[in-house]
Amino acid sequence: EAGVAQSPRYKIIEKRQSVAFWCNPISGHATLYWYQQILGQGPKLLIQFQNNGVVDDSQLPKDRFSAERLKGVDSTLKIQPAKLEDSAVYLCASSPGWGAGNTIYFGEGSWLTVV
Amino acid sequence: EDKVVQSPLSLVVHEGDTVTLNCSYEVTNFRSLLWYKQEKKAPTFLFMLTSSGIEKKSGRLSSILDKKELFSILNITATQTGDSAVYLCAVSFGVSSNTGKLIFGQGTTLQVKP
């Protein structure tokens, strides 16, 4: 079974530039998550989709971050304009649905460095 | 405020030692607690716990949940250098089947020396 695919794996940009990350979840998984993980910290949820609807985006900095999952399958996370503090790993994860019995599977992450 | 707290934040042991990692939580409408191992890549799933007092085991790793005291422990016996990683605890919670959340603790960094 193919895992969660993310690209690009690594990106270096200057502050105020924009960047986009792509995620393709495991086939058939209805729930998709984007997490931000800053070095030395645990992952922080940015946004959660159930199919193509947003379930939770309370911690997404909406002035600069946006995400979409138009067809309920793959998703894009965009940052514009980037700040130095956005340097982090952006992890995409998916699960079959939601509930106590669902395990969440992570992609390899997209490592962003803002200089 | 919903939160997950792990301790210790870091730990250095020697091969063969036994370690216990702790995770406490405060959330509304708890659903499950998950443990992940993270090396220099994405977190990989270890255990999911939903019921108190039932130990889950996988090789040298085991974990148990106490829903009354709101904590879980992850034990690793006979540690090996390959166990060196960040161990993340996460808690899923929510009021309905479609609006749950999953939040993570800060992680415990384990270093196993030869």
Task: Tell me, yes or no, if A39 comes closer than 8 A to chain B by beta carbon.
Answer: no
Confidence of residue A97 (pLDDT cuts 50, 70, 90): confident
How far apart are the C-alpha atoms of A26 and B94, rounded to whole Å? 23
Q: Which residue ranges make up each domain of chain B?
A: 3-95+102-113
Ranges of chain B whose pLDDT falls below 70:
95-100
From the number of C-beta atoms within 10 Å of its C-beta (0-12, 13-18, 19+), residue A18 rates as exposed
* pLDDT score, position B57: 95
CATH architecture label of B3-95+102-113: Sandwich (2.60)
The CATH number that applies at residue A63 is: 2.60.40.10
Q: With an 8 Å Cβ cutoff, is A5 touching chain B?
A: no
The total domain count for chain A is: 1
Give me the residue from A43, A91, A100 closest to B32, CB to CB.
A100
Which pLDDT belongs to residue B28?
87
> What is the nearest CA distance from A114 to chain B, expressed in angstroms?
19
Instruction: Note down the domain range covering A13.
Output: 5-114
Rounded Cα gap, residues B31 and B100, in angstroms: 9
pLDDT at A1: 61
For A1-115, strand residue ranges (E) read 5-7, 10-13, 19-24, 31-37, 44-50, 53-56, 65-68, 75-79, 88-95, 105-106, 110-114
Q: Could you tell me the two tokens for B105?
A: 């603790």
In chain B, the largest separation of any two C-alpha atoms, in whole Å, equals: 47
Count of pairs with CB atoms under 8 A, one residue in A, one in B: 61
Dist. CA A111–CA B15, nearest whole Å: 31
Whether A33 contacts chain B with CB within 8 A: yes
